[in-house]
Amino acid sequence: MKLGVNIDHIATLRNARGGFEPNLVEAAKVALKLDILALTMHLREDRRHIKDDDLYNVKKLGAKINLEMAATSEIQQIALDLMPYSVCIVPERRQEVTTEGGLDVFGQKEYLKEFIKPLKQAGILVSMFIDADEKQVEASSYIGADYIELHTGCFANAFENGDYVKELEKLKKAAKLAQSLGLKVNAGHGLNYENVHLMKEIQGLCELNIGHSIISKSIFTGLESAIDMMLKLIK
Ligand code: PXP
């Protein structure tokens, strides 16, 4: 399993004062010293954390970027210009604190099939952030996505409440179905140092995208150690 480090919350902290600290590019350099697959960055419509320049400045370091994005033409144009390693299509609501659930691929499959075509043609890997739901997995295969990223938020909440077995089973089942349809499978949201080991029970997971817990831990340990600790847990 590989790790994508989500650095959005370094930008959240920087933007709290509107200046340059903490420096996102310096943080990206620290992360890139380690054996990670990619830096994950979400360019939201309201630019509440990552800004357009951040993407280009991190790309200049030679980083593989996994760009989380809503399925809008504005962000699609930016993706085609930036040429990230991969994009993960997520739902986006202005009022939400963070991404709240998976994307409804089933309900907009014809739109999404057309939407991802230029991204795929440009050679960008396309992932759909979905709940562990058979209909959504099948729709992701239908539209021609390369990957799904399973939303692990419900699993993470259940883990906190001490009863995660059912949610983990749902993830396992969805991953198996996706793989049988030729999709590669990633996972993310709410994963932390306590629950991440359980992701090893899901056969064939490629990548975990983790942000909040790593950036939170880094306040106490420094970013390099925080990432390194997570890498050790998922190896
Ligand atoms: N994957 C996706 C698609 C997300 O939207 C997020 C949150 O930005 C994450 C992974 C990372 O979640 P967390 O910050 O809870 O680790």
Residues of the chain with pLDDT under 50: none
**Structure confidence at residue 71 (pLDDT):** 97
Residues 6 or more apart whose Cβ sits within 8 Å of residue 143: 105, 109, 112, 113, 116, 128
Q: How close is the Cα of 157 to the center of ligand 1, in Å?
A: 14
Q: How close is the Cα of 6 to the center of ligand 1, in Å?
A: 7
State pTM to two decimals: 0.96
**Structure confidence at residue 94 (pLDDT):** 65
- What is d(CA 106, CA 47) in angstroms, rounded to the nearest whole number? 27
Shortest-distance Cα residue to atom 12 of ligand 1: 189
**Structure confidence at residue 32 (pLDDT):** 98
DSSP state of 199: G
**Structure confidence at residue 192 (pLDDT):** 98
**Structure confidence at residue 3 (pLDDT):** 98
DSSP secondary structure letters along 102-166: ---SGGGHHHHHHHHHHHHHTT-EEEEEE-S-HHHHHHHHHHT-SEEEEE-HHHHHHHHTT--HH
Ligand 1 pocket test target in 209, 212, 213 with most atoms within 8 Å of CB: 209
**Structure confidence at residue 4 (pLDDT):** 98
Active-site residues, by number, are 42, 68, 189
Shortest-distance Cα residue to atom 6 of ligand 1: 189
pLDDT in tens, 10-33: 999 999 999 999 999 999 999 999
